[in-house]
């Protein structure tokens, strides 16, 4: 995909921006987007709608989704905590164990992708298709999360038209998105089944193991202080040494100041000498 837009990369290289790999493209495009939002001058005095800038921003959008969610394993593991959080809170509201009327989660673009990508709202394929057809994008809701993007989930305990049980409705940037069926909403039962299918029945308790991080505590595991001290002995020793150094320096400064205060205390009081002053107009 990068080689497909090599011409734009070559033009930027002539301007002094050698974006030779994905990580450099990622950082450069991220900065360009921020500068555009804050009304700053873009590199090479390029305009936001120039083909070069649009190519780079596309690579950033497509590449961010592809590298994080391009593999089935990623789509199964990464969304597990968030999707289960949504499922648990929805169930708690519906069965009366939770009384929240509103839950707000603050997130970044890749946090929103954790929800959007596994549910098929935003994928590398639809981002690419929309970029190739900017005037009439085939997937209108497939948009990379830009500044102030939002996801809204509404939980209804009472039945609605064509629904005989609790339902959930989903909105992305104010537009209702279809996840379970063409009606635009999911019954709670269908959404629960969908989450289990997407995550391959994974849950937050075995999330560390799925991430190949067995040393990290699961959510229900009790903290073992002795094991923590044993596994982090070098770090703790280093912190202790630093604290001792700081304390010794502090005591040294305090000692010097104390001696200065004593010396000042035994000096005789000196009255200010009167000085004759001539005032000139």
Cβ atoms of 86 and 197 closer than 8 Å: no
Non-local CB neighbours of 159 within 8 Å, separated by 6+ positions: 165, 166, 167
pLDDT given for residue 219 in this prediction: 44
- Nearest CA to 79 out of 67, 95, 68 is that of 68
Helical pair 22-37 and 51-69, crossing angle rounded to 10 deg? 120
The whole-angstrom separation of Cα 44 and Cα 47 is 9
pLDDT, the chain, mean: 81
pLDDT given for residue 37 in this prediction: 92
pLDDT at 272 exceeding the cut of 90 = no
Q: 227: which 2 tokens?
A: 């094991």
Other CB atoms within a 10 A radius of the CB of residue 279 amount to 4
Q: Which domains does the chain have, with CATH numbers?
A: 3-69 (no CATH), 72-210 (3.40.50.1240)
Query: pLDDT of 207-248, one tens digit each?
Result: 777 777 655 544 444 445 455 555 556 665 666 666 667 667
With b meaning 16 or more CB within 10 Å and e meaning fewer, what string describes 152-174? ebebbeeeeeeeeebbbbbebee
Mean pLDDT of 126-131: 96
Percent of the chain with pLDDT strictly greater than 70 = 72
Its sign, for the CA torsion 10, 54, 19, 127, is negative
């Amino acid at each position: 995909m990068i080689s497909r837009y090599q011409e734009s990369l070559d033009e930027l290289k002539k301007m002094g921006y050698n974006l030779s790999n994905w990580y450099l493209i990622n950082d450069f495009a991220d900065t360009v987007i921020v500068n555009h939002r804050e009304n700053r001058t873009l590199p090479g005095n390029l305009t936001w709608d120039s083909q070069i800038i649009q190519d780079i921003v596309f690579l950033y959008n497509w590449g961010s989704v592809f590298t994080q969610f391009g593999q089935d394993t990623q789509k199964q593991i990464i969304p597990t905590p968030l999707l289960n959080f949504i499922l648990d809170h929805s169930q708690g509201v519906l069965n009366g164990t939770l009384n929240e009327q509103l839950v707000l989660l603050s997130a970044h673009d890749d946090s929103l992708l954790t929800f959007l990508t596994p549910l098929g709202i935003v994928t590398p394929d639809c981002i690419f298709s929309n970029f190739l057809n900017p005037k009439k994008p085939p997937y209108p809701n497939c948009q990379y999360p830009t500044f102030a993007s939002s996801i809204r989930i509404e939980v209804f305990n009472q039945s609605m038209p064509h629904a005989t049980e609790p339902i959930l409705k989903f909105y992305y940037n104010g537009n209702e998105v279809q996840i379970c069926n063409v009606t635009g909403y999911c019954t709670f039962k269908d959404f629960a089944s969908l989450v289990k299918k997407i995550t391959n029945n994974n849950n937050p308790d075995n999330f560390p193991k799925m991430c190949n991080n067995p040393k990290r505590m699961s959510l229900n595991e009790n903290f073992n202080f002795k094991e923590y001290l044993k596994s982090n002995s070098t770090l703790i020793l280093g912190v202790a040494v630093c604290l001792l150094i700081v304390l010794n320096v502090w005591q040294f400064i305090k000692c010097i100041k104390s001696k200065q205060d004593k010396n000042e205390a035994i000096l005789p009081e000196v009255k200010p000498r009167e000085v004759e002053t001539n005032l000139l107009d």
